[in-house]
């Protein structure tokens, strides 16, 4: 049984909603979200969508990089 299923809260400052995802602290912090935590950050649905929007360009570039021989 994981922490999210036990009722972990969102790790973004000022948010106290239920978390749906767990991500690496460094990646979330680099995306620009103000988070609290150590190694893992739990995000609610709204902040996860915001994280995905902020990292879209990086994910596309990584995808292209992996596709090149």
Does 8 score more than 80 pLDDT?
Answer: yes
Mutual angle of helices 56-67 and 45-54, in 10-degree steps: 60
pTM here is 0.84
Per DSSP, the residues of 8-63 read: PBP-BTT--SBP-EEEEHHHHHHHT--B--SSEEEE-HHHHHHHHHHTHHHHHHHH
The per-residue pLDDT for 5 is 82
**CB-based contact 10:3 (threshold 8 Å):** no
What average pLDDT does the segment 60-69 reach? Answer: 88
Does 44 score more than 70 pLDDT?
Answer: yes
**Per-residue pLDDT tens digits for 30-40:** 999 999 888 99
The per-residue pLDDT for 6 is 83
What average pLDDT does the segment 40-63 reach? Answer: 94
């Amino acid at each position: 049984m994981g922490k999210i299923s036990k009722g972990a809260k969102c790790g973004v400052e000022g948010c106290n909603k239920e978390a749906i995802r767990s991500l690496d602290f460094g990646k979330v912090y680099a995306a620009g979200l103000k988070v609290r935590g150590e190694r893992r950050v739990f995000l609610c649905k709204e902040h996860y969508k915001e994280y995905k929007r902020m990292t879209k360009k990086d994910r596309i570039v990584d995808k292209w990089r992996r596709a090149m021989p």
